[in-house]
Amino acid sequence: MREGSGTTSDSPLVLLSGGGGGARLAAGLSQSSAERPLLVVTNTGDDFEHCGLTICPDTDSVLYAVSKTIDRQRGWGRGEESWAVFGELKNLGGPDWFQLGDKDLALHLARAAMLSAGQGLASVTQALGYRLDVPSSVSVLPATESPVRTHVVTEQETMAFQEYFVAHRCAPVLHDVVYEGIDSASPAEQLRDALGHVGAAGTDIVLGPSNPFLSLAPILAIPGMQELLRHAARRVVAVSPIIGGQALKGPAGKIMSELGLDVSAEGWTRFMSEQYPGLVDVWVWDETDQALAGDLRSEGMDIRTTQTVMSDPSRARAFGDWLLGVCDSGH
């Protein structure tokens, strides 16, 4: 964290996002921060190749969330979706483990056309955001343009994360997670540009309430990424994905536990501060976990609590407002 109180209102608030929680927070902040640009850096580790197409689940969730085209019930994919192609794909014996809605598929095809024509993933994502009417104050940017693919190592085999997550419904016990390609990856040039122009005062960086192994690590382990973020940061705020001893949604708690995380807000905080020493300035927990904060606070950690559950857009916006307040308040 930098000293000084220069205004950062022109600098984009940066959100690192993966999965549903990150997308909901992106939508909340895009409402709250109308006065301040928002740069959402998305996890590319979940990207995978399917039926000839490059599918970017985390990036797409953010695009759909901030353009208000997401299906709010499901929490992924497009609202008012139809399934004509997917129905016929099943008739034809095609793979049916990954659901492809018609509108969603159109985005994958548009992306494929641009990628085939030689456009980079960042510029493709920007073009898609423009077409989806993402607010002009919001940029959605894949963390890297180099292919990074999260593979999970289970007792039986190693497989692509989406296959584990969707086809196997996270049933196999996880032994390890590997990020294929990450050693030769680098932060997207547009991200380096954006963070290179935040000025001396730095800007605020939020780590969304996302799985540390599956959503944040494939961003933060990109060589040069942590240095880039530290250099640009006025303040780094991390939001706990664990509430009341479990992940809010789905099997994330199981995954974190199998990978050795003590599944509690305290366990998550200790894990993150050991994994990324000195990176995070402010730890945000749900108010449910308030009673657990004593030990860490006595060790000097800045833990704040509030309602972090973003069960609808107004709660997401309220949480976004609160987070912006934390960013602007300093100590």
Binding site for its own copies (CB under 8 A): 49-54, 82, 84-89, 91-95, 100, 102-103, 105-110, 112-113, 115-116, 127-128, 131-132
> What are φ and ψ of residue 58, in 5° steps?
-70, -40
Q: Which is nearer to its own copies, 69 or 211 (CB)?
A: 69
User: C-beta of 130: minimal distance to its own copies in Å?
Assistant: 8
The whole-angstrom separation of Cα 136 and Cα 129 is 9
Rg (CA), the chain: 19
Q: Which is nearer to its own copies, 94 or 196 (CB)?
A: 94
Decide if 295 contacts 266 (C-beta within 8 A): yes
User: C-beta of 131: minimal distance to its own copies in Å?
Assistant: 5
User: C-beta of 43: minimal distance to its own copies in Å?
Assistant: 21
User: C-beta of 180: minimal distance to its own copies in Å?
Assistant: 17
The whole-angstrom separation of Cα 46 and Cα 64 is 16
Could you please report the per-residue DSSP string of 181-209?
TGGG--B-HHHHHHHHTS-TT-EEEEE-S
User: C-beta of 45: minimal distance to its own copies in Å?
Assistant: 20
Q: Which is nearer to its own copies, 48 or 213 (CB)?
A: 48
What is the pairing mode between strands 13-17 and 158-160? unpaired
Q: Which is nearer to its own copies, 97 or 176 (CB)?
A: 97
Tokens 């139809």 found at: 82
Q: Which is nearer to its own copies, 119 or 288 (CB)?
A: 119
